[in-house]
Structure 1
Amino acid sequence: MSPFYNGINVDVRRGVRQGDTISPELFIATLQNVMRTLDWDNMGLKIDGRQLHHLRCADDIVLITPNISQAERMLADFDKACGKIGLRLNLTRAMFMRNRLVSYAPFKLNGTNISERSSYVCLGREVDMISHLAPELSRRKRAAWGAFKSIEDVVGRTKNT
């Protein structure tokens, strides 16, 4: 891996493991540098006079495009930029969503189909194109009950103390 394109090679024998304290900061810094190399000035959607082509939050990246062909180009650009420093996209976790204004078309990167989803969870909140709250509230209720069930025996033992 060669972070920041400065000619210094870092011999990566094992990846930084999830949970390591340096993991998020290292990934975010590396990703920020990758994003700076992309020429997406005319990509995305114009919102309040500014081009919006992606949102990043931790290790989630949302590409914002008016159509599937632009999304494929942006994803290919991003994949190529990541490949230059030794990063690979996990296409099994990649997905796309579209609203009713975008007609259906298969979405591929290097011949691999990217799966379409009607919603996904980002920062603990379910995101969809319709903004229904009922599924999100139901998901949170299930998560809360799951958390309670995992410690129910401890709660029962300490209830009367």
Structure 2
Amino acid sequence: MEALSNDLDWTGGMEIDGEHLTYLLFADDCAIFAHDALEPQEKLEQLQMKWSEIGLEMNLSKTKWMHNQFSPTATVEINGETIEEVKSFEYLGHQLSFLEGSTGEYSRRRKAAWSSFNRISTLLLDEDLPVKVKASLFHSTVIPAMLYGA
């Protein structure tokens, strides 16, 4: 998939540490960066055409788009189907949002940590269980949930 995507001669995107970035691609997850409201539609159409050459299909019901406060609201359509505009989305386990910044991500991680804690709370509060075992459980379940939202 990456080889096909590299064939796309895309402009736009964004500059990060001197590198030009137009998309992020990992397995079957892709995030596209654009300067204006027309660019995402054009890029999605090109990507869909490239992927269809090898029999891959874009799942339009899972495809979302968002914009920052500096770009106008628009409608993005692929094959006549409107792509849902969202205020935030999750990419590779991280919540991305222009409006909330990191607040939404921190909240998501906090919830994941509490959820992990609640799943093992009976063990953690068991007076008969050695502290070493409790610490090991905590460090192997709650801490990763808090740090990575897993």
Task: Give the TM-score band, short-chain normalised.
Answer: 0.7 to 0.9
Q: Which residue of 2 aligns with 1:150?
A: 119
- Which of 138, 141, 147 aligns to 2:110? It is 141
Q: Which residue of 2 aligns with 1:33?
A: 3
- Local SS of the residue matching 2:109: helix
Alignment TM-score, normalising by the size of structure 1:
0.69
After the TM superposition, which parts of structure 1 deviate over 6 Å for at least 4 consecutive aligned residues? none
- Of 101-110 and 123-132, more deviation after overlay is shown by 123-132
Alignment TM-score, normalising by the size of structure 2:
0.73
- Local SS of the residue matching 2:90: strand
Unaligned runs of 5+ in 1: 1-30
Matched, 1:89 2:58: yes
CA shift for structure 1 position 154: 4.2
- Aligned-residue RMSD, C-alpha: 2.2
CA shift for structure 1 position 102: 1.2
- Of 128-137 and 72-81, more deviation after overlay is shown by 128-137
Paired amino acid for 1:109 = I
How many positions carry a matched residue from both structures? 129
What whole-Å deviation, never above 9, does each CA across 1:21-75 have from its counterpart, x for those lacking one?
xxxxxxxxxx1122122222x3434566654211223432111111121111110
Paired amino acid for 1:44 = G
Identical-pair percentage:
29
- Which of 73, 87, 98 aligns to 2:42? It is 73
Q: Which residue of 2 aligns with 1:7?
A: none
Change (3 A) 1:113 1:135: same
